[in-house]
A and B are shown apart, each in its own frame.
Chain A
Amino acid sequence: MSSQALSQNKERFELNLGPQHPATHGVLRVKLLMDGEYIVNAEPVLGYIHRMHELMGENRTWAQYLPNMGRLDYLSALSYNLGYVELVEKMAGIEVPERAEYIRVITTELNRISSHLLWFGAFVLDLGGFTPLLYAFDDREQILDLLEAVTGARLTYCYFRFGGCYNDVEDNFLSGTLAFIKRLRSRMPMYHNLVTKNVILMQRLEGVGPISAEMCRKYGATGPVLRGSGVNYDVRKNEPYSIYPEIDFDVPVYHECDSMARYNVRMDEIDQCMRIIEQAIAKIPEGPVMAEKVPKMIKPEPGDYYHTVEAARGSFGIRAVSDGKNQAYRMKLRSPTFSNLSLYQEASKGMLLADALALMGSLDLVIPEIDR
């Protein structure tokens, strides 16, 4: 409906979507001003799971803060682990053995697949299709089992250490990962046949929730949201870190700017993650997984440092200010979904409630990461 038609109708009502609502996947609240089924204004209200991680960063040592990184985005915790340890390694000048870098990439990409799979299921659930969720969980379960064997945790990982990884992976992890990739490869066509090519799904996603590249830029959106708007930006390519420069993978970009484009980006990313893992497993060298000289007490040079990694939802940046002590003076966590969600108010204007929820699903929100 045009904004003019919206403004003529005076019969509006407010609708509180959340903090407990099936579509918000967590404790997000959206204050909706509705005109019948149309949204006049949607204002997200945050903070229901705010835990002040940034303050915790200021009164814990660098190492003590590591477990916090598993509790921001509980679906792709390893990306956050990676971002943090790389930042501290950069600050303290710690060299990481090559095998550890490969293990980091393999586990992080596995975690990214599991995050995208869960998003896939939950997104179709938002659209009213219940069954794909269970199939996606089935596959995700395999990843969790693999990662559990290596990291000891299923969700809130704290596996990387400054200078390497907590422990070495076993050969059966690598072979298990390859077996899993083989299995997932064989299941991806099923997902595409049953879900991607579903007429109702296409009808619900194509052309719905347009987010232009310019809007992404103005709001600082990154990750699959940005790539679904036709911008080829992936931190792994644009600011390569770890061993990504040595690995051949593509960045899926779609130019349609709609929810379907964001859906396709994530589905294609699963394929690319599998390519990355396969190459990493083929190339993984023997050797230690921890650097030999890691200071017990890390005291970086005073100054401020910034580091960005590509998490499953966009670029996750950490700005750490050090004053030379073994604690951070200031720890700023730049969470991707915070920025991605901030464009929701503008993007959802004049949309149908059902479409607006499809748009919200396509942003792939993880509330603890937004609220931090």
Chain B
Amino acid sequence: MNKLNVIDELKALAAEGMPAAPEVAPVAPPAPEGEEGAAPKKAAPPAPRKNGLLEVVYAVKGVHVDVQVAVDQVVRAAQIIDGAGMTLEAITGVDWITDKELEVVYDYSFTGGECFRVVVRTRIPRDQPNIPTISKVFPGANWHERETFDFFGINFEGHPQLEYLLLPEDCDFHPLLKDFKGC
């Protein structure tokens, strides 16, 4: 696996996605690409991050590459990563309720040799939580996406079996949404 290839491809992909996500653009400059060294603190709650690729400090963040892409690019990102022989560790969500957005986070790692971790993230509007599934690329994503659907109500379009996995099949809530008040 060539790390640099993956980084370049993801970088190009994220840059491509830049114009596709204009709605999250308050003031920031175009793409915070290629920043190296100390991880640029993106101050999570106040300003949503721009699409783009960050090479973060592994010792601090636990990942090597942190890339944010547009919603419709997650499958392409998964294909790039799959092509590099990497594996999917987990999919999860984060509810940024103040931004009215949900973040979907994909953790990838490389098990075939030197450690290399990539996190791919994307943001979707909270009231329309639709995102394409990557279970066609990684069959293992099937359960992870179902779990994310359980907890956040995120609709993975094209998922073969989007049913409750961990929660009871008759439940009608998504507990990890920040406005969940208990049931």
Contacts and interface: CB of A to CB of B under 8 A. Distances in A.
Do chains A and B make direct contact within the complex (CB under 8 angstroms)?
yes
Interface of A: 46-47, 50, 52, 54-55, 58, 87, 90, 216-222, 226, 231, 233, 238-239, 301-308, 315, 317, 319, 321-324, 329-330, 332, 334, 338-339, 342-343, 346, 371-372
A47 B168 contact: yes
A43 to B, nearest CB: 9
B130 interface: no
A270 B105 CA distance: 35
Nearest to A302: B44
A34 B41 CA distance: 54
Interface stretch (B5-13, B14-22, B81-89): B81-89
Nearest to A318: B62
Contacts of B167: 47, 50
14 contacts: A54-B151, A58-B176, A218-B88, A302-B45, A303-B42, A305-B60, A306-B63, A306-B117, A308-B109, A317-B89, A317-B90, A323-B45, A338-B147, A342-B140
B44 A323 contact: yes
A308 B117 CA distance: 11
A73 to B, nearest CB: 16
Interface of B: 39, 41-45, 59-63, 85-90, 92, 94-95, 105, 107, 109, 111-115, 117, 119, 138-140, 142-143, 147, 151, 164-168, 175-176
Determine chain A's interface SS by DSSP, over half rule.
mixed
Nearest to B39: A303
A343 B112 contact: no
Given A220-B138, A330-B94, A52 B175 contact: yes
A334 B142 contact: no
Given A218-B140, A220-B138, A226 B111 contact: yes
Contact of A371 (B92, B138, B166): B166
Contacts of B95: 330
B61 A305 contact: yes
Contact of B139 (A50, A226, A346): A346
Given A47-B166, A55-B175, A339-B140, A238 B115 contact: yes
A296 B132 CA distance: 43
Given A319-B90, A343-B140, A303 B44 contact: yes
Most buried by A among B39, B111, B114, B164: B111
Nearest to B40: A303
Most buried by A among B113, B143, B151, B164: B143
A303 B94 contact: no
